[in-house]
Structure 1
């Protein structure tokens, strides 16, 4: 059970008095005695339009844009592969011993998809390396953008890269085994493994959205 801190009544009354003073223009000076404004460190992104960024902030923004674009490429190939595995599952479900020309063609198409996904995974690795190098180059104590520490930018890109590398291993596993499934349940299992993308989870998408928002690709609503 979580433990809740109990406040003494005098302390609570003091807070209530401060709230009342905050609603009165004549007592604003008294409020300032109790509350100090928070001053955020100035960053290049904070004094410039995201579209006009230069230097390292611009490089970081471009890295995130490339990351997003490659994820869209991944999604397109993932969907294509899902349709192929569905067709393979349909053939094998009708005849588990099917090794027809149609199956061979579908397997070849799936191989092409996995090759493209491998190339995209390599692009993720490159972008991850770029972001890490950028963080090392930034010697100033200020952040490149607004809320995220510079190390967080690199950590988030690395986490996303790792998620898709893990998913690529699953795709390769499906490619190597789906045509040789021994029964209907097995072939359906491989098709679901491809479609589900368990390694790319909600946390991965949240980190991507955080990067897009931080670097100005997403507007804060």
Structure 2
């Protein structure tokens, strides 16, 4: 296998590896986000208990310790988001690579493309469409996760915290169809047996 077929097959393997990395980062990020929510809710509970008991505010060292712990967890989540940005940037590079392959194929075979498929059934446009679909979904999900990062430690209600955690865990911008697209890409390129 050489030329366009080799490059597309390599890109499909890269997509699979990036998805696995994303899933690992998502799981780690969820655990850190849950820690942030737990810290935030425990701070809110402590504040409420202090207000109800009419005692002066808690000792400064306890408040700064909790704030430092919360800041540390937020920094961990920022590091995870930064790694997710790297993953999405690599996905964008794969889209650019596929568009380059498409341009080369158009130059070699004209606007109608090859008369035979590179692998099983897909033409070049289907590869490009699948790459763009995957990238757009992960880009949108990254934006959501960046918003969650900005809001999570400042959220006052437990209900909203749970919504943020649910959004992080269930990834609404990466529907099941996206995973099917990747599996179809892997099947088409021979990474998965038919």
Give the TM-score taking structure 1 as reference length: 0.73
- Larger Rg, first or second structure (1 or 2): 1
Following the alignment from structure 1 to structure 2, what is the Cα–Cα distance between the partners of residues 102 and 193? 23
**What whole-Å deviation, never above 9, does each CA across 1:15-70 have from its counterpart, x for those lacking one?**
xxxxxxxxxxxxxxxxxxxxxxxxxxxxxxxxxxxxxx111101110011111111
Following the alignment from structure 1 to structure 2, what is the Cα–Cα distance between the partners of residues 166 and 209? 20
Corresponding residue to 2:86 among 105, 119, 124 = 119
After the TM superposition, which residues 42-57 of structure 1 pair with which residues of structure 2 at under 5 Å, given as runs? 53-57=1-5
Q: CA contact under 8 A between 1:92 and 1:187: conserved in structure 2? A: no
**Residue 95 of structure 1, CA deviation:** 2.4
* Structural RMSD (CA): 1.3
Q: What is aligned with 1:90?
A: 38
Q: Which stretches of structure 1, 4 residues or longer, exceed 6 Å deviation after superposition?
A: none
Corresponding residue to 2:147 among 160, 173, 179 = 173
The alignment covers a number of residue pairs equal to 168
Following the alignment from structure 1 to structure 2, what is the Cα–Cα distance between the partners of residues 142 and 132? 19
- Structure with the larger RCO, 1 or 2 (CA within 8 Å, 6+ apart): 2
Matched, 1:71 2:19: yes
**Residue 150 of structure 1, CA deviation:** 1.3
Q: CA contact under 8 A between 1:77 and 1:113: conserved in structure 2? A: yes
In structure 1, stretches of 5+ residues that fail to align are 1-52
Q: What is aligned with 2:168?
A: 194
Give the TM-score taking structure 2 as reference length: 0.83
In structure 2, stretches of 5+ residues that fail to align are 48-62
Secondary structure of the residue aligned to 2:160 is helix
